[in-house]
Amino acid sequence: MKLILLRHGESQWNLENRFTGWTDVSLTKNGEHEAKKAGILLNNNNIQIDLAYISYLQRAVKTYKICQKQLKMTNSRVSYDWRLNERHYGSLQGLNKSETAKKYGDEESNTFGNVSKVNGELNLPTFNRLGFGKITTINGLDSEKYVSTVGKLAEKSTGNDSTTGHWEIAGLISESDFNIFPNGFPEELVNRVSNETGFEFLGNFHASGTEIINNLGEEHLATKKLILYTSGDSVFQIAAHEDVLSVEKLYDVCKTARKICNDYNIGRVIARPFRGKPNKFERTYDRKDFGITPPGETLLSYLHKNNFKTLGIGKISDLFGDEYLDSSIHTEGDTDGLNTLIKSYKKGLFDFYFINLVDLDMLYGHREDPVGYYEGLKIIDKYLDKLIEILDDEDLLILTGDHGTDPTDGKTDHSREYVPLVAYKSNLKGNNIGEKDSFSVIASSISEFFNLKNIFYGDSFLKDIIKK
């Protein structure tokens, strides 16, 4: 007996980048072609279908009928069930990504530009030279003489979290959200984690990490109950003082929670160790994210299959798992991360370096600190200059983001906004390629850079690069 899971071909609203849900839209011509290819593949493997379970939506029904024609099936049974319909997106249904930004309340979010409004003219010579001033209006960055290919990217995946953002950069687009819990986690979930780990919990509500530690830290020290909280992301965060629970034991608690959270479609379980005394608590860099393995092909798995050596720096392994990384290095902040990148590059052991910088997000964005955000940008600017100096002529440096974290928007969560695209090689002229509709064009372009066939959504932008 074989179980075959077949997703419908591209629909019209897939093409238009809209939330579809229960809206009964038709297949595009490309979707019909995809369904035909699926039928041919099944036929070539001598697979026949005895019983098919299908939703009532025409995109699924038509996909099955096209496949059926390729298989020349005449006696297969079909069972239709509304429970197989796509999830209902409520008020988001039918909206495109820019409309979704309005629903999230992020239409005014512009992390870089708004930071410059608060701080005045920014003194960031490397960012200026790379062309950030051509992407959006940034006080102090005119980028008149820039040397990169630049643009801005809209997220095609739903949501605005780190996991889906990084996955999309690596070519995997998420068409459904992880579950979020703005009112706290269900009692049954908390009880399961408590029973399995032996720890009780304080909190269990939406909060800033620094605020909840300051508010509940003293009670945590007295009761030994762990602090549980969430955010606008799909995250199950557990904070513990190092005097209450060692970092390794906190990781063990989170590993157990990770297994249970799988049943609730939660994206990440995050260990948040902290130290210090009441009113002077501080989080450490021993934070660890326990994510899930991406459910499809990513740039990392694709490069691995083709024998390219990859290094993850920062929390890359937390977001993707170590399965397709040849090596992984956890770091303590952006200075450590950038130093690690430069040292690793000089050793020349890897083909692809994937680094995540967390300080702008963790220390300043979530804490609504635009002044500190500028200080963090200064650090990155300095190290980017050092990195550019040592790059070979054939090397390609790509700078982007997995989401926004506008420290001026009055929220402590991520902002859904355009992220910058900057692609630098030593022999380029400046070129603005405008807006692209997915982060995944980065994966497409890197595939072409390594002379691999593009298997990801969106065209490579390498063809738009102008050489001197």
Given the candidates 3.30.420.40, 3.40.50.300, 3.30.70.1250, 3.20.20.140, the CATH classification of the domain at 187-290 is: 3.30.70.1250
Domain 12-92, second-level architecture = 3-Layer(aba) Sandwich (3.40)
CATH 3.30.70.1250 domain range(s) in the chain: 187-290
Does this model's pTM top 0.75? My answer is: no
CATH 3.40.50.1240 domain range(s) in the chain: 12-92
CA distance 192 to 257: 9
Q: Name which of 196, 320, 327 is nearest 261 in CA terms.
A: 196
Tens of pLDDT along the chain (468 residues)? 788 999 898 888 877 777 788 888 899 888 898 899 888 888 888 888 889 999 989 999 999 999 888 887 767 788 988 788 887 665 566 776 556 655 555 567 899 999 999 999 999 999 999 999 999 999 999 999 999 999 999 998 877 788 889 999 999 998 777 888 888 999 999 999 999 999 999 999 988 888 899 999 999 999 999 999 998 788 999 999 999 999 999 999 999 999 999 999 898 999 999 999 998 999 998 999 998 889 899 999 999 999 999 999 999 998 997 789 999 999 989 999 999 999 999 999 999 999 999 899 888 888 889 999 999 999 999 999 999 999 999 999 999 999 988 888 877 778 888 999 999 998 888 999 999 999 999 999 999 999 999 999 999 999 888 776
∠420-421-425 over CA atoms, to 5°?
140
In Å, how far are 30, 81, 135, 415, 433 from 151, measured between CA atoms?
27, 44, 6, 19, 5
CATH 3.40.720.10 domain range(s) in the chain: 97-172+294-464
Domain 97-172+294-464, second-level architecture = 3-Layer(aba) Sandwich (3.40)
Q: Which residues pair with 169 in a beta bridge?
A: none
Give every CB contact of residue 452 below 8 A, 6+ residues apart in sequence. 302, 303, 306
